[in-house]
């Protein structure tokens, strides 16, 4: 079993007024092809942890943070941050990751087709029918020539999922991808998403506030637990796999 992510004692301190917030990940191992859900209430640090996994947010301190997208060369992510090798991080992100933002994050001036094709275009990948096939599976084929603004919220989320999968990244991360749709739609969209990921062997990491929902979908929950810090005025939010 090859690990895509290996984290040991990763922390992120957020300085805010009143109580400061410290996200703590004592140990997190995510294997290739796994479907993992980071679960906990709003404000517990799910997006913060996703941002660190996507390597856009630098942790405050780390014992070990390794990313091995293709099971071959593991990257010491912490060393890359410490030595300011942001280009290494962003190249790996572009090539190996897809990201579904909570609100879709679609570009309003591009058609649905162009939105889905965006990551493929950045990576100079030719049109091999992937965009159309994904749109068909996700039930948005008839929307391909439209602008995102006229789509329903559920359709937009489907487009965002198609976009994250279009360049066939081995890892897809999604921040509460179905929070804005009703439970029936949420189950349907997540079912299609996880089915596609299974077919492609994609590792999936999702943030969700609904443990029951993600467990029903067959995902492995990584739960958040609060724990008082020894330091005064700091709230520790610990994620335990």
Ligand X SMILES: Nc1ncnc2c1ncn2[C@@H]1O[C@H](COP(=O)(O)OP(=O)(O)O)[C@@H](O)[C@H]1O
Is residue 201 involved in binding ligand X (CB under 6 A)?
no
Q: Which entry of ligand X, Mg ion, none binds 169, CB below 5 to 8 A by partner kind?
A: none
Q: Which entry of Mg ion, ligand X, none binds 229, CB below 5 to 8 A by partner kind?
A: none
165-184: contacts with Mg ion (CB under 5 A): none
- Of these, 20, 27, 47, 111, which contacts Mg ion (CB under 5 A)? 47
Q: How far apart are the C-alpha atoms of 135 and 161, rounded to whole Å?
A: 10
- CA angle, residues 192, 193, 197, in degrees to nearest 5: 115
Contacts of 80 (CB under 8 A, 6+ apart): 55, 86, 88, 89
Is residue 111 involved in binding Mg ion (CB under 5 A)?
no
Taking the complex as a whole, how short is the minimal distance between the CB of residue 92 and Mg ion, in angstroms? 23
Taking the complex as a whole, how short is the minimal distance between the CB of residue 175 and ligand X, in angstroms? 7
Taking the complex as a whole, how short is the minimal distance between the CB of residue 176 and Mg ion, in angstroms? 6
Number of neighbours of residue 217 by Cβ within 10 angstroms:
19
Residue with tokens 């962003």: 90
> With CB under 6 A as the contact rule, which of the stretches 40-48, 162-170, 182-190, 214-222 interacts with ligand X?
40-48
- Of these, 10, 32, 39, 44, which contacts ligand X (CB under 6 A)? 44
Burial class of residue 191 in the structure, from the number of CB atoms within 10 Å of its CB (0-12 exposed, 13-18 middle, 19+ buried): exposed
Here's the x/- map for ligand X, 45-64, by CB under 6 A: it reads as: xxxx----------------
Beta bridge pairs of residue 23: 12, 237
Taking the complex as a whole, how short is the minimal distance between the CB of residue 43 and Mg ion, in angstroms? 8
Q: How far apart are the C-alpha atoms of 103 and 160, rounded to whole Å?
A: 9
Footprint of Mg ion on this chain (CB under 5 A)?
A: 47
């Amino acid at each position: 079993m090859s690990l895509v992510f290996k984290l040991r004692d990763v922390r992120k301190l957020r300085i805010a007024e009143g109580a400061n917030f410290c996200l703590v990940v004592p140990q997190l191992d995510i294997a290739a092809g796994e479907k993992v859900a980071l679960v906990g209430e709003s404000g517990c640090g799910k997006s913060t942890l996703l941002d660190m996994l996507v390597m856009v947010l630098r942790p405050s301190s780390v014992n070990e943070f390794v990313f091995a997208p293709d099971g071959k060369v593991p990257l010491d992510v912490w060393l890359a941050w410490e030595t300011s090798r942001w280009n290494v991080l962003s190249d790996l992100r572009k090539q190996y990751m897809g990201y579904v933002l909570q609100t879709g994050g679609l570009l309003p001036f591009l058609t649905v087709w162009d939105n889905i094709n965006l990551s493929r275009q950045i990576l100079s990948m030719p049109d091999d029918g992937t965009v159309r096939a994904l749109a068909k599976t996700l039930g948005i084929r008839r929307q391909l020539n439209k602008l995102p603004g006229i789509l329903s919220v559920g359709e937009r989320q489907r487009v965002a999922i198609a976009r994250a999968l279009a360049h066939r990244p081995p890892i897809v991360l999604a921040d509460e991808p179905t929070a804005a749709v009703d439970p029936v739609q949420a189950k349907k969209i997540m079912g299609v998403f996880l089915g596609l990921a299974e077919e492609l062997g994609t590792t999936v990491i999702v943030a969700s506030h609904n443990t029951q929902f993600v467990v029903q979908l067959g995902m492995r929950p990584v739960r958040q637990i609060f724990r008082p810090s020894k330091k005064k005025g700091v709230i520790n939010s610990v994620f335990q796999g």
